[in-house]
Structure 1
Amino acid sequence: MEHRRYPGHNHWFYESQTSPRNSQAAPLVPEAAHIDDRFLLGLQQETSALQSLLLDNQPALLAARDLSQLLFPDSSAPTLTHTLTLYDRLSTALTVAQVTGVQRLCNHYSARLNPLPGPDSSRESNNRLTQITQYARQLAMQPEVINAASITALDAVGLTEPDIVTLNQLIGFVCYQARVVAGIHALQGLPVRWLPGITPPPDADSRGFGQPPSWLPTLKPLELRYASAEQLAAITFCQPITELTDAVWVLAHDPAALYGWAMLNQRLEPNPSTRLAQAASARILGSRWAFQHSFPDDALIASVDEAELSEEQQQIVTLAAQLTRTPERFSAAQLQPLLSREWDQSALFDLIQAVALSNWNSRLYFALGEAR
């Protein structure tokens, strides 16, 4: 039976769960839609004890804020090559936020989505939104299940190559945002607030790890002869990032997102501890490419939880694993082992941001390429 949309549907649930209403349903927290910083979502006003820490991290946080404005603008006019509507973008963001279980994100994206008109009630529109939602949920929850057929399914419902690249950037960004927000809550000693019903999937299979990785695009890369000035500028900016050599011509289908993402990667300077944490995250999610370019320690391949590492390294890996698998349950308890080693808040926040970024990068590399 064809599902139809009605005025006043409740955006908190998926389309198949909506019911007719006489008036538009209000979001759970209406004020969450009206906020200046759409990356930290009001946390900077609530974290007086962390103001100096956030100020020290302004370059990266401003890059992330710019990306939030770029990926989720106040308005969006679809074109023939970029067909994602603002409703598509915010609906995807809400789906990912619900998977992560971070309440602050759910409140924000639900409130922003609520007043927007949904797609028409045609079978084609319903199939398109259903496929986008399913893909977003799978990539956010268990990237290992994404394959070339998943990309083909998006193409079959009318998404263009630029659309698919943008969709993956949207999903990756919200996964990143959720873990930074969860980390700041933990630094404050506050709970993130759980959303029930999400069971963490198992870690990705270890097959293929330890072998020389390859990155083969699942989308047709941008051709030089068709590249716009904006696309060429973004590609040029990314040249110093060696791990992007193979992927940049695919990601250039959305040059603005590519530029912002590359800028964020450059501003979060790695160190041995953050690289180890990123490798643990990449191993859990199944991205051999991100793993190889983080900290390719063979000890992590068989099991992240039982790797033969020093005690401090294992504590770093444990923190990364918790934040990757269940960000909604991340708390000050996961920070305590490193605090007892006299790690300061700045070093901990660097670690949190590195894990969050690895969650974005691993999903992006895995979804749009990698040999399987």
Structure 2
Amino acid sequence: MTDQVLTPPPHVEPVVFTRDMLDWLPWLEPMAEEGLTARHMTALVEAARAKSPYFRLLVRDPEVLEARTLTDKDIFYNPEAGLPRAERELAAAATSRSNGCIYCASVHARFAATYSKRVDDVDRLLKEGVEAPLDPRWQAIVAASVALTATPITFGPEHVDALRAAGLDDAAIVDVINAASFFNWANRLMLSLGEPSAPPPKG
């Protein structure tokens, strides 16, 4: 069966970066939830992801999705040394802001704000972009993430030096690289498969 190209239903597509929770509408037909097999559910890693059209679309290739999800979880949820969770999320939010992925930026900015409690700084990044003034540590993380996002070869010794000067050890620097690199790829995948949608107003 060939993939069916979808026309998203009428919706409001967000045009500014936000921490609000957004919906995501696919341009290709996801698998039906009732059609998911045991292999598909294993690949989703978490059963709740069966409700997501994005993951039901990616689960068409269960081996790739399972590897992708386990990699994602190791980068962002592994507490053994390295960067605090808030700053892993900051790297993902900065990458998504640079790439123009409003949906991914909303998710990871929300996490960065929650874990860091630095809501004003996160909102400044969303509003003003990756050149927004931040403290030296966050500025170094954002600059390194953006360099990896633009063209990976532009990430160089000067970024590592700035991260070390800001107090990051080698494990933390690897976390910055992993978080930014993963979302540099993930943004492009999401941007090519669908579009964000603002949820309908309540009431």
TM range, smaller chain: 0.7 to 0.9
Matched with 1:161 is 3
Contact 1:219 1:368 in 2 (8 A): yes
Matched with 2:133 is 308
What SS does structure 1 have at the residue aligned with 2:65? Answer: helix
What SS does structure 2 have at the residue aligned with 1:248? Answer: helix
Work out the CA distance in 2 between the residues paired with 1:317 and 1:355: 9
Work out the CA distance in 1 between the residues paired with 2:147 and 2:123: 20
Contact 1:239 1:245 in 2 (8 A): no
* Alignment gaps of 5+ in structure 1: 1-80, 82-159, 165-205
**Matched pairs, number:** 170
Matched with 1:280 is 94
The AA in structure 2 aligned to 1:269 is F
Contact 2:41 2:47 in 1 (8 A): no
Matched with 2:103 is 289
Shift of 1:280: 0.5
Matched with 1:208 is 16
Q: 1:223 pairs with 11, 16, 32, which one? A: 32
CA spacing shift, 1:313–1:282, aligned 2, 3 Å: same
Matched with 2:11 is none
Contact 2:102 2:196 in 1 (8 A): no
Q: 1:351 pairs with 151, 158, 176, which one? A: 176
Is 2:107 the partner of 1:265?
no
Is 2:136 the partner of 1:322?
no
Work out the CA distance in 2 between the residues paired with 1:224 and 1:245: 9
Superposed CA offset, 1:122-180 (max 9, x none): xxxxxxxxxxxxxxxxxxxxxxxxxxxxxxxxxxxxxx439x9xxxxxxxxxxxxxxxx
Q: Which has the larger radius of gyration?
A: 1
CA spacing shift, 1:340–1:308, aligned 2, 3 Å: closer
* Alignment gaps of 5+ in structure 2: 6-13, 78-84, 111-121, 198-203
The AA in structure 1 aligned to 2:182 is L
Superposed CA offset, 1:81-105 (max 9, x none): 6xxxxxxxxxxxxxxxxxxxxxxxx
CA spacing shift, 1:332–1:224, aligned 2, 3 Å: same
Work out the CA distance in 1 between the residues paired with 2:87 and 2:33: 38
Q: Normalising by structure 2, report the TM-score.
A: 0.73
Alignment of 1:131-210 (within 5 A): 160-161=2-3, 207-210=15-18
Contact 1:161 1:253 in 2 (8 A): no
The AA in structure 2 aligned to 1:256 is E
Work out the CA distance in 2 between the residues paired with 1:241 and 1:273: 25
Q: 1:332 pairs with 120, 133, 157, which one? A: 157
Work out the CA distance in 2 between the residues paired with 1:310 and 1:334: 15
The AA in structure 2 aligned to 1:290 is C
Shift of 1:225: 4.3
Work out the CA distance in 2 between the residues paired with 1:319 and 1:240: 33
Is 2:172 the partner of 1:363?
no
Contact 1:238 1:259 in 2 (8 A): no
Identity, in percent, stands at: 26
CA spacing shift, 1:232–1:309, aligned 2, 3 Å: same
The AA in structure 1 aligned to 2:97 is R
Shift of 1:279: 0.3
Contact 1:238 1:262 in 2 (8 A): no
What SS does structure 2 have at the residue aligned with 1:308? Answer: coil
Contact 1:282 1:362 in 2 (8 A): yes
What SS does structure 1 have at the residue aligned with 2:108? Answer: coil
Q: 1:239 pairs with 47, 52, 55, which one? A: 47
Matched with 2:114 is none
The AA in structure 2 aligned to 1:341 is A
What SS does structure 2 have at the residue aligned with 1:208? Answer: coil
Matched with 2:9 is none
Shift of 1:304: 2.8
Q: Normalising by structure 1, report the TM-score.
A: 0.42
What SS does structure 2 have at the residue aligned with 1:348? Answer: helix
Matched with 1:75 is none
Superposed CA offset, 1:316-367 (max 9, x none): 1111111111212221111111212332111101110010111122122222
Work out the CA distance in 2 between the residues paired with 1:286 and 1:215: 15
